[in-house]
Structure 1
Amino acid sequence: MTLRIVQWTTGNVGRAALGSIVERDDMELVGLYAFSADKVGRDAGDLARLGRTLGVAATDDIDAIIALRPDCVSYMPLFPDVEHLSRLLEAGINIVTTAEFMTGAALGAEARARLERAAAAGGASLFGSGVNPGWIEYLAAAASGVTRNLRSLRVIEQFDLMVLSADGNQDDFGWGRPAGDPGHADDVAVGVAEFRDAVEVAARVLGVELDEIRYDVEFAHATADLKVAARTVTAGTVAGIEITWSGIVGGAAVIELVARWTLGTKIEPAWTTDMGYTVEVNADPRVIMRVDFLPADLEQLTAEGMAMMGTVLTASPAINAIPAVVAAAPGIVTYADLPPMTANLAGR
C-alpha cells in the first residue's frame, strides 16, 4: 500500500523529511503546508532544494490540506501548535512530528488531554520523535535486552554547538546570560521539557513505573569574548550547559538523560565534549555503547555537511515510523506502543 503523505513546513528538518518521503516506494507526497506567504504556490521540489519539480504546490490553507485526505502528516515546524494538531487529528489524519513532542506532557495536562480527545474523535494517532530525545532512548532501552538485573539506564549526549549556534531551537538555552542570572535554570527547563517526556517514554518501554521525574542543570562560563553566530557571548557569561532529567524509583535514579552542550573550549569549568552519544546500561552484564554518526561520503565531513546530517537524523525517526503510526491504535503513541522501526531499502 502506498501511503499518502503531506509535509508540514520546509525548514531545515522539513526539507530532509520531504526528501526522504519522495525517495520511498511506499509513500507518495500529495501536499505541502507552508507558513510563509512567499512559499505559497511554489513547488515542493523547489522548496526542498531537490533540483527537480514534484508537481505539488505549497499552500497555507489547512482546509485544503485536510481535503486531500492524507494518511499522515509529517509535521515539522520548530514548535507544536495544539490547534493545528487537533484539527488534523479530528479529521482522521495521523501525524508524525519532530516538533518537541513525545508524550505531550511538556505541553501541559490540558493540551495533552485535548490532543487525546482529538485523536479519539478522529480515530488517528500522533507520534513524536527525533534523534534525541527519541530514538537514542529507545536504543538504550533495547540494549538492556541482553542483560538481567537492570539497575539503571543512562544516556549522555555531548556536542559543541558552535557551528549550529544560530539555530532557533537554541533560543531558550540562554547563551550569553550572566552567571547566576535569576530564572535561567527554569527557562532552560522549559526549553528542554521534551527530554522529560523522553524519560517517560523510556520508562514505558522498560515497563517501569516512576515515582517522579527530576531536573537539574549546571552552567559553564566563557573565559573570553566569543565569536558566536547570532549570539552575544562575552567573558563571564554562559557558554556551556549540562542538563539532567532523571526518572526516580525508591529515591534512586533508574533512568538518566544527560545533555552537555558547549560553545567552543574557552569555558570554565573546562568541560570536554566527546561529540556523540554514550549509552550506559547498569545491569548484569554492564553494556556500554558509543554511538557516532558520519556522512556516507567522508568528503562531506564539513560544518555544512554535519549540519545537513543533523537534519536527516532528526527527521528520519519520524518518517520511518509512518507505516507503524498509520497502523497504530488511535491516541498519542510512543515507542512503547509501536513495533521496531527501521529505514527502508533504497527506493526510487
Structure 2
Amino acid sequence: MEKLRVIQWTTGKVGKLALRAILDDPRLDLVGVYAWSPDKVGTDAGTLCGRPPCSVAATDDVDALVALKADTVVYTPFMADLDHVLQLLEAGVDVVSTNLFFNVGGVKGATKERLEAACARGGSSLYITGISPGWINTMVTAMTGVCRDVRKISILESADCSVYESKETWEAMGISLTGTTPQIAEMAKLWMMPAEEAVQRMAHALEYTLDDIEFFLAYATASQTVDLGYMTIEKGTNAALEVGWNGRLDGSTIIQMKFRWYLTKHLNEGWEFSDDQYRVVIDGEPGIDTRIRFIPPDHWGNHEWDTMTALPAVNAAFNVRDARPGILHLADVGLPRAPAGQWHAARG
C-alpha cells in the first residue's frame, strides 16, 4: 500500500487531533513533528496526542525536519511563520494548512507572490482548508453539481457556544457587554475573517467574481443573569450574536455565510436556534434545502470538536499530492474523503 510521509507542524488543540489522525490513518507514515513549545521537544508523538509511543520525537529543528524529505506537512499553528512555510515549499514538500496566514496579511499581495514562487521552485503545493468553517464550504460547493442553475447559496451555522470556556474570546466578540461599539464590531470582524475567506473560496470555485463582501453583526440580550462558571452574563447584556458575510454581485447577495451563536437561550429577542449545526439552502434548479447535524460520541470533550478542523486537512493530503503545483483552490483539490475501507480492514 502506498503511503505518504507526513510531518505534523505543531501540537496545540487542532494539531494534537491532526497528529492523532495521522497515526490512525493506514495511508500515512508519520516521520516528524514540529513542536513550538520547548517543553514538548523530545517527547514521543504518540504521547503528545494520547496514542501509544511511535518512536517519532517532536523537535524544533526546522532544518532537520526539512531534511526528512517528507511528502506533506499538515500545518496547524495558531500563528503562521512564513519563513518556515517557504522553506518547506521550496524543498518540495506539500503544505496542507488550517492556518489562513492572517498574521502575515493573508494569502494575497506580496505574501501570495512569495508562496507561489516557492511552490514553483519546489514543484510543491499549498492548500488551505481553514479553521471554521473548514469543511462546509467544500461540501456546499460540491452540492451545486446537481443544479442546472444557481441563484443564491445560504449557509447558516447554529451552535451552543457556552461550552467554549474562554471569557476573553467572548468579551472580545461583544458577549456580556452592552450594545455594539465600533471597537467591538472591528474585533468581531477580525475573528470572522476565516468565514470571509470561505465565501471567497466558494465564489472562486463557482466562477463568480464578487463585487463586494459585506460584514454584518447583531446581538440578542439576556433576559436573565446567567452564570456559566467561567463568566457571568448579566441581564440585558449581549448573550447571543448573529454574524457573517454576504458575497455580493450585481446588487444582490449570491453567497451568504451566517453564524448564530448563543451562550444562553434566555433571550429578550426570542431568537430561534436549531439542533442542526448547519442549514444549507441553494436557490437554484433544483433548489436544495438540507440540514446537517453532527453527533459526537459520548467520550468527546469540548475540544474534541476541533477534530472537524483537523480532519479536512489530514484527509486532503493525497488530493493535494495529486494536484498541480502552486496555491490550490477547492476546484483543484476536489472532495477529500475518509479512508473508511482501510479503517475497516485495519480493525480486522
TM-score, length of structure 1 as denominator length: 0.89
After superposition, where does 1:132-281 map in structure 2 within 5 Å? 132-166=132-166, 172-228=172-228, 230-231=230-231, 233-275=233-275, 276-281=277-282
> What is the percent sequence identity of the aligned residues?
34
CA distance in 1, matches of 2:206, 2:167: 33
Q: Which residue of 2 aligns with 1:288?
A: 289
Query: Does 1:342 pair with 2:343?
Result: no
The structure-2 alpha-carbon separation of the partners of 1:224 and 1:253, relative to structure 1 and needing over 3 Å to count, comes to same
CA distance in 2, matches of 1:85, 1:172: 30
- Matched-pair contact (CA < 8 Å) for 2:141–2:202: yes
Q: Which amino acid aligns with 1:257?
A: M
Aligned length: 340
CA distance in 1, matches of 2:312, 2:191: 21
CA distance in 1, matches of 2:337, 2:263: 33
Q: Which ranges in structure 1 are unaligned for 5 or more consecutive residues?
A: none
The structure-2 alpha-carbon separation of the partners of 1:62 and 1:233, relative to structure 1 and needing over 3 Å to count, comes to farther
Superposed displacement of residue 211, structure 1:
1.8
SS state of the match for residue 176, structure 1? Answer: coil
- Matched-pair contact (CA < 8 Å) for 1:72–1:322: yes
Query: Does 1:96 pair with 2:96?
Result: yes
Q: Which amino acid aligns with 1:53?
A: P
Deviations 1:117-167 (A, max 9, x none): 332332221112157423211211222222222111111101010011329
The structure-2 alpha-carbon separation of the partners of 1:274 and 1:309, relative to structure 1 and needing over 3 Å to count, comes to farther
CA distance in 2, matches of 1:324, 1:252: 34
Q: Which residue of 2 aligns with 1:311?
A: 306
The structure-2 alpha-carbon separation of the partners of 1:46 and 1:341, relative to structure 1 and needing over 3 Å to count, comes to same
Deviations 1:204-263 (A, max 9, x none): 221222222221111223334432354454334332221121111111011111111111
Task: Return 311-320 or 269-278, whichever deviates more.
Answer: 269-278
Task: Return 174-183 or 65-74, whichever deviates more.
Answer: 174-183
TM-score, length of structure 2 as denominator length: 0.89
CA distance in 1, matches of 2:107, 2:223: 36
Q: Which amino acid aligns with 1:332?
A: I
Q: Which residue of 2 aligns with 1:79?
A: 79
Q: Which ranges in structure 2 are unaligned for 5 or more consecutive residues?
A: none
- Matched-pair contact (CA < 8 Å) for 2:99–2:128: yes
Task: Return 218-227 or 104-113, whichever deviates more.
Answer: 104-113
- Matched-pair contact (CA < 8 Å) for 1:30–1:70: yes
- Matched-pair contact (CA < 8 Å) for 1:179–1:238: yes
- Matched-pair contact (CA < 8 Å) for 2:154–2:255: yes
Q: Which residue of 1 aligns with 2:323?
A: 328
CA distance in 2, matches of 1:108, 1:231: 38
Superposed displacement of residue 280, structure 1:
0.3
The structure-2 alpha-carbon separation of the partners of 1:152 and 1:315, relative to structure 1 and needing over 3 Å to count, comes to same
Q: Which amino acid aligns with 2:54?
A: L
CA distance in 1, matches of 2:47, 2:249: 51
The structure-2 alpha-carbon separation of the partners of 1:154 and 1:226, relative to structure 1 and needing over 3 Å to count, comes to same
After superposition, where does 1:104-123 map in structure 2 within 5 Å? 106=106, 109-123=109-123
Q: Which amino acid aligns with 1:340?
A: L
- Matched-pair contact (CA < 8 Å) for 1:214–1:245: yes
- Matched-pair contact (CA < 8 Å) for 1:13–1:312: yes
SS state of the match for residue 325, structure 1? Answer: helix
- Matched-pair contact (CA < 8 Å) for 2:125–2:325: yes
- Matched-pair contact (CA < 8 Å) for 1:100–1:194: yes
SS state of the match for residue 180, structure 1? Answer: coil
CA distance in 1, matches of 2:267, 2:100: 28
Deviations 1:8-56 (A, max 9, x none): 1222221221121112222100111111111111111111011x10101
Task: Return 316-325 or 260-269, whichever deviates more.
Answer: 260-269
SS state of the match for residue 68, structure 1? Answer: coil
Q: Which amino acid aligns with 1:342?
A: R
The structure-2 alpha-carbon separation of the partners of 1:81 and 1:188, relative to structure 1 and needing over 3 Å to count, comes to farther
- Matched-pair contact (CA < 8 Å) for 1:175–1:231: no
Task: Return 267-276 or 31-40, whichever deviates more.
Answer: 267-276
SS state of the match for residue 268, structure 1? Answer: coil
CA distance in 2, matches of 1:242, 1:182: 16
Q: Which residue of 1 aligns with 2:7?
A: 6
CA distance in 2, matches of 1:80, 1:312: 20
Aligned-pair RMSD on alpha carbons?
2.4
Q: Which amino acid aligns with 1:328?
A: A
